[in-house]
Chain A
């Protein structure tokens, strides 16, 4: 049976210029389509995650760094105001990238997400975050027992349980932040003064104010600016829907274009596969004469089709999926979703071509 599949491969290899081109086109189209889907799905995740924040008229900030700027030195009064707002559940803050940069062994080397604010579990109930703070959880793909605890601001916080699989944190700046390979810490505001300056700076840029009066936003922005941290406020409910509409429209057009390209490449392959099998009919008939069963012939045809339409694409899509997982991309499994489309085309061609070859019995016998 393996001989038959190998024989099918060699049918494709004998026509390598055309088959290689077609396999390349299909592979590229499938890979680009899955990347486009990653993009769209992350936007959808943003839309879903942003709902609660839009309802609470959340305001978030993007930092502006003047050339040659150093780490900011925001005054303690501003930090205290932020801590008060967080404690009153009128704000939350996060550290995504800059936690313990000088300690590569921090949290067992896993990336962390540090969240401040008791309002967070309320805003993101789908994450099933631990409660009460301080507490920590591991991502679904972080092995149990590898990270027992993390120490923030001199306080040891035990890592209790695992997050749901594919849990994604809605970060207003980053969009979907996959948590499968992260350690998520719910920290207390009393730890903030003990954070390193660079950690504090990131925390302040990631403050999200909920239902804030204009004066609160102004006070925070001007206070931060005095400490050389320049923040631009954005309203989730005003800016995001517009941004999302644009992104979704662009993504949709992109996906339709790529999908059309993939369909065209598949159609080109379907017609050349038919031609190839027609040319191979003589070889298949000879094999049938000498004892090849329908199963043998079917495997040979399947081997040919798999060599062009299935195996190169599956390998590339699988590698792409592994890369997206390693890169912590949102919706890293989209390459796997493109696979069924290729499998269906393969199955259709396999079935129809096998039936065509086995079913032909015309005048003149043989």
Chain B
């Protein structure tokens, strides 16, 4: 079975200050279609860095990332196109643009898609995806008017609007109460049911337990593990 997303011998070294900081060292991993993978590890273990490299946001110091078996090129335009078509991102910190409406937030991936939809068509897709996360009423609300859980659901709606193959989620439940966190997990499972893969970096073992596999990252080294 072919992996839809793969990291081969990926290392990342940051040069901040005098000492280089090794965030990832010779990491290799594969994600297959329709699976949910939890990435666990202590703070500073390199989870976010690995997600950003796998999501083509940043580049590895060494090694390569393969999407559907093909190495990702260095050209920024083709990387941007892949980010748009292939990935959906849910990030704790970069969840929303606070002073823009929910619609403006969710429509972003459609604005950079190769196929440019007309405005009514874009709105229809945004409404559809908001219905999936039970937020159809929030279309014209400003992001700052929503609760933490609602914002995270909007972020998930945005991640889904382009129908990506892989959802990369970085601590999506960290700032949420138990009920909201549960709703988010249910949404991820629903995404997986539709055939997309989910890679979720989390501290929360309840989230990890719902996934098919758990990967553990410690000091930049990856290992397959059990809860």
Residues of A within 8 A of B (CB): 3, 14, 282-283, 285-294, 296, 361-366
B51 to chain A, nearest CB (A): 6
Residue of chain B at shortest CB distance from A7? B111
B81 to chain A, nearest CB (A): 7
Which chain B residues border A296 with CB–CB below 8 Å? 112
The reply to whether A289 and B113 contact each other, CB–CB distance below 8 Å, is no
Name the one of B52, B80, B111 contacting A366, with C-beta atoms under 8 angstroms. B52
A321 to chain B, nearest CB (A): 37
A190 to chain B, nearest CB (A): 76
Given known contacts A3-B111, A290-B109, A291-B83, is B97 in contact with A365 (CB within 8 Å)? no
Which chain B residues border A362 with CB–CB below 8 Å? 14, 16
The reply to whether A289 and B83 contact each other, CB–CB distance below 8 Å, is yes
Given known contacts A282-B97, A365-B57, is B113 in contact with A291 (CB within 8 Å)? yes
Tell yes or no: B197 within 8 A of A by CB.
Answer: no
Per the bound structure, the CA–CA distance linking A366 and B80 in Å amounts to: 14
B158 to chain A, nearest CB (A): 8
Per the bound structure, the CA–CA distance linking A361 and B48 in Å amounts to: 12
Given known contacts A362-B16, A363-B16, is B108 in contact with A286 (CB within 8 Å)? yes
Per the bound structure, the CA–CA distance linking A103 and B25 in Å amounts to: 91
The reply to whether B49 and A289 contact each other, CB–CB distance below 8 Å, is no
Which chain A residues border B48 with CB–CB below 8 Å? 364-366
Q: Can you name 27 A-B pairs with beta carbons within 8 Å?
A: A3-B111, A282-B93, A285-B94, A286-B96, A286-B105, A288-B80, A288-B83, A289-B55, A289-B89, A290-B83, A290-B84, A290-B89, A290-B111, A290-B112, A291-B81, A291-B84, A291-B113, A294-B76, A361-B58, A364-B48, A365-B23, A365-B53, A366-B48, A366-B52, A366-B58, A366-B93, A366-B170
Per the bound structure, the CA–CA distance linking A3 and B57 in Å amounts to: 22
The reply to whether B112 and A287 contact each other, CB–CB distance below 8 Å, is yes
The reply to whether A366 and B84 contact each other, CB–CB distance below 8 Å, is no
Name the one of A14, A283, A366 contacting B57, with C-beta atoms under 8 angstroms. A366
Residue of chain A at shortest CB distance from B53? A365
Which chain B residues border A289 with CB–CB below 8 Å? 55, 57, 83, 87, 89, 91, 94
Tell yes or no: B124 within 8 A of A by CB.
Answer: no
Per the bound structure, the CA–CA distance linking A286 and B99 in Å amounts to: 14
How extensive is the interface on chain B, given as a class? 35 or more
Per the bound structure, the CA–CA distance linking A182 and B1 in Å amounts to: 85
Chain B residues 172 to 199 lying within 8 A of chain A, measured CB to CB, are: none
A301 to chain B, nearest CB (A): 15
Tell yes or no: B3 within 8 A of A by CB.
Answer: no
Name the one of A14, A292, A363, A366 contacting B23, with C-beta atoms under 8 angstroms. A363
B154 to chain A, nearest CB (A): 12
The reply to whether A287 and B108 contact each other, CB–CB distance below 8 Å, is yes
B190 to chain A, nearest CB (A): 21
Per the bound structure, the CA–CA distance linking A366 and B95 in Å amounts to: 12
Which chain B residues border A286 with CB–CB below 8 Å? 94, 96-97, 105, 108
Most buried by B among A293, A365, A366: A365
The reply to whether A292 and B94 contact each other, CB–CB distance below 8 Å, is no
Which chain B residues border A14 with CB–CB below 8 Å? 99
Tell yes or no: B118 within 8 A of A by CB.
Answer: no
Residue of chain A at shortest CB distance from B16? A363
The reply to whether B21 and A366 contact each other, CB–CB distance below 8 Å, is no
Which chain B residues border A292 with CB–CB below 8 Å? 80, 112
Name the one of B14, B99, B100 contacting A363, with C-beta atoms under 8 angstroms. B14
Which chain B residues border A294 with CB–CB below 8 Å? 76
Which chain A residues border B50 with CB–CB below 8 Å? 365
Name the one of A3, A283, A287, A366 contacting B91, with C-beta atoms under 8 angstroms. A366
Additional A-B contact list (11), CB under 8 Å, known A291-B85, A291-B109: A282-B94, A286-B108, A287-B112, A289-B55, A290-B109, A291-B113, A293-B76, A293-B77, A364-B49, A365-B53, A366-B48
Residue of chain A at shortest CB distance from B97? A283
Which chain A residues border B105 with CB–CB below 8 Å? 286
Which chain B residues border A365 with CB–CB below 8 Å? 23, 48-53, 57-58
Chain B residues 11 to 51 lying within 8 A of chain A, measured CB to CB, are: 14, 16, 21, 23, 48-51
Per the bound structure, the CA–CA distance linking A167 and B62 in Å amounts to: 67
Which chain B residues border A363 with CB–CB below 8 Å? 14, 16, 21, 23, 49
Which chain B residues border A364 with CB–CB below 8 Å? 48-49
Which chain B residues border A288 with CB–CB below 8 Å? 57, 80, 83
Per the bound structure, the CA–CA distance linking A291 and B53 in Å amounts to: 15
Per the bound structure, the CA–CA distance linking A362 and B49 in Å amounts to: 9
Residue of chain A at shortest CB distance from B159? A290
Which chain A residues border B49 with CB–CB below 8 Å? 363-365
